[in-house]
Each structure stands twice: as structure tokens, then as C-alpha cells.
Amino acid sequence: LIIVLLLIIAYQFFIILKLKEKDKMEVHKKSLNRYDAQQLQLENELKSIQESNKKLEKEIDEKEKEQKKIALSIIRKNEILSKLKAEIERIKSKPEDTLKYSDLNTLKVLILDNLNLEKERKSLDRYIKELNESFFHNLEKKYPNLTETEKKLCSLLRLKLTSKEIASIMNITPKSVEVSRYRLRKKMKIDKQEKLTKVIRKL
């Protein structure tokens, strides 16, 4: 009888252990399922962030291309007008030319009036500011002592324009642009080994 009782107790103990083991397995399984679900959610969120970043990068790239397109358009117009002015001076120097001096002079005045392209420059300034709010915000936050002209120079350098192109847009000489770049670098306290354009594009 005692042996039977011991066997029954042993069997019940075995059953209890099995049940506990089964419960542990269920808990572990649920934990794994939760982990897998969380992992999947994180992967989906990461994928969504990456897609958003790609979309944002594409938008920024398109905006930069559009800004550069406007800037180069102003440069080309400046170059054409400068050539026209030079051509008029050449024609005026010829006494045998049939064109009237007053006609040529009027044409010259019209070209000189438009040579600065103030409207186009203001449009470019406005367009750049509208499309680069975060850039100007970061620029002003990190370098609050920059003048409006220096900020404009930064925005044009950000478009990877050459000194000659910037000079045409700002209606100054390439030499003046180089001087302004040097002063800007000094004001922003940029190390000699660092590129000014690279620092600006990181903002």
C-alpha cells in the first residue's frame, strides 16, 4: 500500500513538473512572439524612416537644382547683356554706320538699366530663403554675427557655384568674392584643412 501511495505521489509530482515545464515553454514562446512582433515593428519603422529620408533628400536635391538653374539663368543673362553693351560700343565707334547715335544710346541705357537685374536677384533671394528656411535658421543660430550679404554668399556657396558665377549674381568681381570668402571663413572660425563649402552644406 505504501509503495502504491509513493508511486501515486511520484506520478503527481511528475505531472506537476511537466505542467510547470509546459507553462515555462508557453511563457517563453509568448516572449519570443512578442520579441518577433517588436522586431518586425522596428524594422517597419526603420524602413519608413529610410523611405522618408530618401524622399526628403530627393526634394532637397530638386530644390537645389532649381535654385542653381535660376542662378545660372541670371549669370547667362548678365553675360549676354555685357556682350550687347560691348557690341553697341563697337558699333558707335564706326562713323560709317547707318544707325543713329540716339537709337544706340537709348538701347545702351536700356541695357544698363537691366544689367544689375535687381528684380531677378530679389526673386532668387526670396526663392532661396523660402526653400532653405532650416538652412538659414541653423546658419543664424550657429553664426549670429553674419551680415545679410554674408548669409547670401553662404546660400550661393551651398549651391556649389564658382567665384565667377557668384560674382555675376552679386554684381561684384571674382576677386571681391575671394576676399569675401576669406573673411567669411575667418568669421566662422573654420580650420584651414576644412572646406568652406563643405561646412556650409552640413548646416
CATH fold label, 132-203: Arc Repressor Mutant, subunit A (1.10.10)
Q: Which grid cell is 132?
A: 532653405
Q: Terminus-to-terminus CA distance in the chain, angstroms?
A: 88
* Among 192, 112, 202, 114, CA closest to 157: 202
If you average pLDDT over every residue of the chain, what do you get?
A: 79
Residue with cell 544706340: 104
Question: Pick the residue with more confidence: 180 or 127?
Answer: 180
Per-residue pLDDT band at 178 (split at 50, 70, 90): very high
What DSSP element (H or E) covers 140?
helix 133-142
Map 71-138 to HEC letters: HHHHHHHHHHHHHHHHHHHHHHCCCCCCCCHHHHHHHHHHHHHHHCCHHHHHHHHHHHHHHCHHHHHH
Taking 90 as the threshold, does the pLDDT of residue 187 lie above it? yes
What DSSP element (H or E) covers 187?
helix 174-187
Could you tell me which residues come within 8 angstroms of residue 165 by beta carbon, excluding any fewer than 6 positions away? 71, 72, 75, 156
Total length of the chain: 203
Distance between CA atoms of residues 49 and 111, nearest Å: 51
pTM: 0.54
Question: Contact, 71 vs 159, CB < 8 A?
Answer: yes
Give pLDDT tens digits for 50-78: 888 888 778 777 777 777 777 777 777 77
Question: Pick the residue with more confidence: 36 or 122?
Answer: 36
Distance between CA atoms of residues 55 and 3, nearest Å: 77
Give pLDDT tens digits for 103-151: 667 677 766 666 656 666 677 777 777 767 788 889 999 999 999 999 9
Give pLDDT tens digits for 5-23: 767 777 777 777 777 777 7
Longest dimension (CA), the chain: 142
Question: Pick the residue with more confidence: 167 or 108?
Answer: 167
Q: Break the chain into its structural domains and give their ranges.
A: 132-203
